[in-house]
Amino acid sequence: MNKIFLLAILSCFWLTSQAQTSEAGVTAIDAREWSPADSPFAIAGTSHLFKGKLLSPTECKTQSGDVVNFPELWKFNETEPAQTGVATYFISVLLPKLQDQTIGLAIPQMYCSYRLWANGKMIAENGKVGMTAEETQPMWMPQTIYLDHVTDSLELVLQIANFHHSKGGIKEPLYLGSNSQMKLKRGLAIASNLAEFLALLLLGSFFLYIFLKRVPKKVALYFALLCLTWSLRSLFSNLYLPISFFPGFNWSLMVRIEYITLYLTMMWAILFVSELFDYEANIFAKYAFVLCNFLFTLFTIFAPTKVFTLWLNLYLSASAALLLYIGFTVIRAWVNERVGSGLITISIILGLNIFAYDIFVYEGFSSYDPVIFAVGYITIFALIAWALSMQLNLVKSKTAQKTSLTYDDLYKKE
């Protein structure tokens, strides 16, 4: 009987121990099989979340929080359109024996300001974190921090405050990697972003010159504006490079530029395609889409950031309809054997894939890869530029060589 009683007590202790280990394991992200020589490790799993509190690393160990997925956008109150407030994450990462090695930590954009501690030491800050909108200063500046003297574990404490955007929290994971990997990754991101900006700036300037000096056709003007607008947007989205060079850049102005350049890009795109393939275009659809983008532009200029960012999902539905309309117009032009329609059809297909990837990144379903964006958009605009050059007789197309038609004949071909 005593043996049975003793066995029962030992069993209880064992079950309690197992339960505590399991509970601890829920919030520990296991990276022990990872090596700095491998590709960067995504810090994603579960963490403790302290809603409505800005806690220090010491306070996180003395209070209880909710176990949540990390990363994840806030869902504090399903009845409110904007997820505003503050929260603190406590994230534990189990590492291999790094022997006091220095590693890089890539920190993405968050909504909308944060403070980050690693093993009790504050290592990064974006904007100003506070308990109210007046105390908080939003900022978006993805950055890479290098951690010294990391051994076999990493405890991260992340404070996030949001009172200025319709989203709150963090949607992309943090990444761990060796110094060389993270420096290369950051360098490629900046280089590809600048390459996209410069390539589209040059294309836009070239076709603006063509419009002003050689072929005064609106189609050249619309494409120039399309290139110039997207080149500006490439700087004010994803990496937000101007903030890296000018930390005092106004966040509200930056977000407005990001959104307005999207709307203007769509407006120039519909005007460009309608002018390029005027016979296939529908005049009512053309002006309906132009009006839609114009109204969204005005709304973004005058509305608070927390309001106009809330309506982006509605706009994305409208832009999907716009892209389908452009695709339908280009296919009709291809069937009618219009000059350049084949190249633009290829660019439309590529553009739909890049645009879908862009939406997945925005919604948090995929991590941002600047090289994919840069290569994709440069290729799209280069194909369209070549097609337009054939239309304007800047280069000779096979159709022009065979028929010896003038520009106006090709442009108005029915």
Cα 338 from Cα 345, distance rounded (Å): 11
Q: Chain-wide mean pLDDT for the chain?
A: 83
- Residue owning tokens 């996030």: 160
Domain limits for position 78: 27-172
Cα 113 from Cα 158, distance rounded (Å): 10
348 and 383 assigned to the same domain: yes
Q: According to the model, what pLDDT value does residue 326 have?
A: 82
- Does residue 359 register a pLDDT over 80? no
pLDDT in tens, 266-286: 999 999 988 888 888 889 999
Of 218, 196, 221, 199, which is closest to residue 209 (Cα–Cα)?
221
pLDDT in tens, 106-150: 999 899 999 999 999 999 999 999 999 999 999 999 899 999 878
- Residue owning tokens 């943090």: 174
- Residue owning tokens 């038609």: 405
Q: Is residue 2 part of a domain?
A: no
Mean pLDDT of 354-369: 68
78 and 38 assigned to the same domain: yes
345 and 204 assigned to the same domain: yes
Q: Which residue, of 172, 202, 224, is where some domain finishes? A: 172
Q: What domain count does the chain have?
A: 2
Q: No. of H helices and E strands in the chain?
A: 13, 13
49 and 166 assigned to the same domain: yes
Q: Is residue 267 part of a domain?
A: yes
- Does residue 367 register a pLDDT over 70? no
59 and 94 assigned to the same domain: yes
In 98-234 the beta strands, taken as DSSP E runs, fall at 101-107, 113-118, 121-126, 143-150, 153-162, 169-170, 174-178
Mean pLDDT of 384-408: 61
Which residues face 154 on adjacent strands?
Answer: 93
Report how far apart the first and last C-alpha atoms of the chain are (Å, whole number).
Answer: 100
Residue 395 pLDDT level (bands cut at 50, 70, 90): low
Q: Which residue, of 172, 195, 227, is where some domain finishes? A: 172
Q: Which residue, of 127, 144, 172, is where some domain finishes? A: 172
Lowest-pLDDT range, 3-17, 158-172, 347-361?
A: 3-17
Cα 137 from Cα 114, distance rounded (Å): 10
